[in-house]
Every structure is written in C-alpha cells, then in structure tokens.
Amino acid sequence: MAEAADRDRVRDATDIVDLVSEVTKVKKTGRSFMAICPFHEEKTPSMSVDRAKGLYHCFGCGEGGDVFTFVEKTQGVGFADAMEILARRAGITLTQEPDQAQRSGRRAEAVDAIRRAVEVYHDRLKRSPDAGPARAYLRSRGYEVSVIDEWRIGFAGMDWDTLTKTLRTGGVGERAMLDAGLARRGRHGLFDVFRGRLLFPIHDVRGDPVGFGGRRVDGVDPRATNNPEAKYVNSADSVVYHKSRLLFGLDRARQAIGSEGEAVVVEGYTDVIAMHLAGVNTAVATCGTALGDGHFDLLRRFTERVVLAFDSDAAGEKAALRSDELESPFRLDLDLRVAVMPDGLDPADLVQQGRSEELLQSVKEARPLLEHRIEHEVARHDLGGPEGRARALHAAAAQVRRVNDEIARSEYVRYVARLIGVDMVTVERAVAGRSTASTGATAKGDLPLDRFESGLLRVLVADPDRRSEVKADDFRDVRLKDGFLALAEGIDPAAVADPTVRNLLLSLVMDERPLPDWEDLARLLQMRRLDDRIDVLEGRIETLTPGSDAHSDSLRELIALQQERRSLGYQ
C-alpha cells in the first residue's frame, strides 16, 4: 500500500509536459501538446502529450505510457529507479521500510564520497607536482584541458592515505569510504585503494559516480603505485559498483544511442573519450571486465544494434569472438556487428593520428558478428581438400544453427555456400543435421543444449555452494535436468551411473571456456521464473469472468509480476 501511495503522490506532483520538455522539444497546439518523439528519428512532431491525463503516445512509432514509463524509456532504468528519480525531482521523500532506508542511506553516502573523490583526484591532476607524468601522458594523447575537465579525469596521490585524509577532513565517514571502495582497512587504519594512477571516473546509467578506472602511467615510481604490474586497476564490486552491469560513458551516450539506434562498444576508457572527440557520441566501454550478458541486457534498453569496435590485435579479436558465445545477443535478438580498425590500431591511436574519418568509416561499415565469426572459423581450415572443407562446413553450420530467424538463416546458408565453395543443399543439411560434440550436444546426436542452462549447470558443477539456489524445474532441457539431479544428490560427475548423464557432466567439467558470471545467470534465472508465472497467470485470466473478484485479483497480481520483471531491466 505504501508503494501505491508513493506512486500516486509522485505522479500527481509530476507535470508530464515539463518532464517531456527536459528531453525533447514540445509545442502547444490548441488544448494539447505535441513533441518530437525521442524514441525514433523524425522532424515533424508526432508524439501527443496529455497534461491532464499524465500520458503520452507517439503516433509514429507507437511508444506511449505515463511519467514512470517515460523515465524508464529515456533513462534506461527500471520502475523502482524511475520512481526514485521522479520523487527526487519533485522533492518527495518515499516511504521505505527500515532496512530499505538503511540501504538507500548507505548508497547515498557512498556515492557522495565518490563524488568528492572525483574532485579531489581531478584537482590533484591539475595542480600536484607528482601528477606531472600523468599530465604529460594526457598531452601526448592530445587531450586539451577542456577534455580533462569534461571527463573529470584525475590522479591518485603517491602517499598511502592522501585521499582518506582529505575526505575525513571533509566529514566523510570511514564506513562511506569503505562502502565506496575508495579505501581499505590495514594495521594502521584506512589506506587509499588507488595510488599513483591516472583515474577515470565511472558513472552508472543515472549519472551517479560509482567507481574509478585507474591507469598506470610511465614515469610514476612503481613503488608508489598499487598493483604496479597491472596496466589498469578498477574499483572492486561494492555497495554501488557492479562491473557486470556498468558501461563507462553510458550516462553520456544513452541519449545519442537512443536517437541514433546504435551503441559502439570499445575496449578502454581512452578509446571512449577518443570516439566522442571524433563525433561518435554512442561509444561506451566495459569497466575492467569482459563484455558479458549483463552489458547486453543494459544496452538493450536503448538500442538493438551494437557495434564492437575493438582493437585489431589478438586480445581484441578474442574479445569480439567471445561475444558470440554469450546468451543475450541471441535471446534479445540483437543486431551485433564488428568494426575492424585500420592497421590494427585502437580508436584512441587513430584519433591521435588525425584519422578520425577512417575510424568513422570503419564503424559505418561494421559487419554482422556472426558473419565475422563464420569467416574466422572457416579461415582455420584448408579449403583445398574435401576434408578441410567438411570441417569448415561443420564449424560454420554450428554458427548458422544459432540464427532463429528463417530469412536470416537462409541468407547465412547462401553466404557459407559461397565462402566454402559448396552447394546450398549441402550447407542446409549441415545446419539442419544432428549436432556433434562441438555444438554442445550429447553423443546420441540430440538437439544442441540450451546455452543458458548449460552455462548454469557448468557453474553448479564448479561451485557446489550455488546448487541450493537452483531447482530442477529451472531446467527445461531434460538432459541438463538429469545432470542437475545427479549433482543435487552429491554424486561426483565421474561416478554417475547413467553413461549419458555422466558424459554430459564430464563434458561440462572439461569445458575450458571462462565460466559465465553468476550475477548474470541469477538475473536471467529470475526473469525466466517470472516469465513462467506470468504465462500461467495470463492463461488463468482468460478463463475468468471480466469484472469478477478473481479476475481483478489476478490482474493486480499480473501487473505486479510485470513490474517486477521491468525492475530487472527487461521490457
């Protein structure tokens, strides 16, 4: 009831015309208002905004909703965050349970500590003598003072407690510094996490500072630098920082991504800044972790087209190919593409050399990731003989098999046929044929294993403590369910009696790929459970008499489940 009351208070206090005006141009026409729709490209206003009803609707693209929906869509947040943003905007204090208030208070204190740290580090970069090498590095990259100020780039002091001393003097408590990941506790008290590094502030999608990416700088005494062997050191996961759900620059890029319908993912902080300097305002980067399902889920709030503009070296190539193994691009039906950088240079180098036009052209000519992957797989085999072509065909067919859209799959069949030099019928048979061990199927030639469920079972094999958080009904693939049941009984994979289940579990044990991130898996699992409950409830509602108590109660329950689903970042 408290949440419903808060929702009504916030809605009543929010003028939807003023809210929309903060994002796009609104014009009064008679008694109503029309706006340039921020959800698709247009020159003539087609979005109607009704101040009395507190609703909006675009007659061009069909988007519509209330003030909460508008914030969710334009800022890429869930309902709970939209409520908080609008409440803060209206000066309303939301009703919270004691534990919720405590969590919110700790988060606010941590964010405030990081916000102050951003300014402390930024001031040190500009004024401190020991930041000389960092300033020299930035000059060598062509960064003007305006760029340094815009991105609030900073420098961590050389002493062990430069930041903690400054923050303590400013009234920041120890708990806030620890929660923010700015300090750690040692034998002699708190000490700074970052020392002797160039720092790039990292913000969440709402624009709150939540952490830092620290770069080692040549010329700084390595004895004064934390973890001097590592080129980059990033904030550890904390009360406010969750690397699998953060993208550097997304707070700046989200509006451009929404309007241009494309996000460009690069590898590093300097690459993001370089991209923005070159006019690619849709550029973002991961924060000290590999590109994962959580990142794709985040980008999907703003666009369906994602371009990977990684370096053309071995590491960048590996990162691009690994992205093809993830669940989200296929589950969300994303248009995932690869931009090949000229001469093996990274975006920052290209911009520094004055080759921004080449960079822009590479992004413009980005090719579908699956096409890139197929070429990579085929290139590993000698097409001069029948055996080499057969191996290349099986490898390419395993990729095409993942395409759900029939038209797209047909086009990829044609592409593989031309690439390998075989007829389309042969390719179609390979794509439709029985899977082999290379596709993750069993030796009996069954259909490929569900990617999400096989990843989940791999984690459960490696981490027995997680098994209590999963149920057998979470597995729809009966083979993986049998594997889970064997694990749940505490049986060692090698000792499972059923040879099919034993071989399946052992294949997961021997899989050398990095384990999926548990946080991503848990969110996907929660979403699937919600989807199952929503499906059952929708079926029940169809059998009930409209207007009856049972029908009304079921509708309320359905709306609550849908809101919970949106809170996970899914629409």
pLDDT digits (tens, 9 = 90+) for 156-204: 988 888 899 999 999 999 999 999 999 999 888 899 999 999 999 999 9
Measure the CA–CA gap between 110 and 236, rounded to whole angstroms.
Answer: 13
Whether pLDDT at 438 is above 60: no
Q: Please enumerate in sequence order all residues whose Cβ is within 8 A of that of 67, keeping only pairs 6 or more positions apart, or say none.
A: 10, 11, 14, 16, 19, 54, 86
**End-to-end CA distance of the chain, in Å?**
24
**Each residue of 319-337: pLDDT tens digit?**
544 555 555 555 556 788 9
Report the range of poorest mean pLDDT among 222-226, 384-388, 495-499.
222-226
The answer to whether the beta carbons of residues 459 and 513 sit under 8 Å apart is no
Whether pLDDT at 376 is above 70: yes
Q: Report, as an integer, the average pLDDT of 474-485.
A: 87
Q: What is the pLDDT of residue 73?
A: 82
Measure the CA–CA gap between 567 and 83, rounded to whole angstroms.
Answer: 11
Q: Report, as an integer, the average pLDDT of 508-528.
A: 82
Mean residue pLDDT across the chain = 83
Measure the CA–CA gap between 553 and 557, rounded to whole angstroms.
Answer: 6
Q: What is the pLDDT of residue 82?
A: 85
Whether pLDDT at 498 is above 70: yes
Q: Which of 68-72, 280-284, 374-378, 560-564 is the most confident on average?
A: 280-284
Adjacent-strand bridge partners of 77: none
Q: Is 333 left (phi over 0), alpha (psi -120 to 50) or beta?
A: left
Binning pLDDT at 50, 70 and 90, where does residue 435 land?
Answer: very low
- Quickly tell me which residue has 């180098």 as its tokens: 349
Q: Report, as an integer, the average pLDDT of 80-104.
A: 74
In order of 96, 194, 535, 565, 567, the CA distances from 559 in angstroms are 21, 45, 12, 10, 12
Q: What is the pLDDT of residue 279?
A: 93
**Each residue of 69-90: pLDDT tens digit?**
888 888 777 788 888 888 888 8
Q: What is the pLDDT of residue 111?
A: 92
Which letter does DSSP use for residue 468 in this model? G
Show the beta-strand stretches assigned E in 367-501: 367-368
| Coil/strand/helix, residue 185 | strand
Report the range of poorest mean pLDDT among 44-48, 61-65, 134-138, 151-155.
61-65
Which letter does DSSP use for residue 517 in this model? P
Q: Report, as an integer, the average pLDDT of 493-521.
A: 80
Whether pLDDT at 5 is above 70: yes
Measure the CA–CA gap between 322 and 310, rounded to whole angstroms.
Answer: 12
Q: Report, as an integer, the average pLDDT of 300-327.
A: 64
Q: What is the pLDDT of residue 331?
A: 53
Q: What is the pLDDT of residue 98?
A: 53
The two tokens of residue 456 are 């989940």
Q: Report, as an integer, the average pLDDT of 422-433.
A: 83
Measure the CA–CA gap between 194 and 499, rounded to whole angstroms.
Answer: 52
Q: What is the pLDDT of residue 409?
A: 83
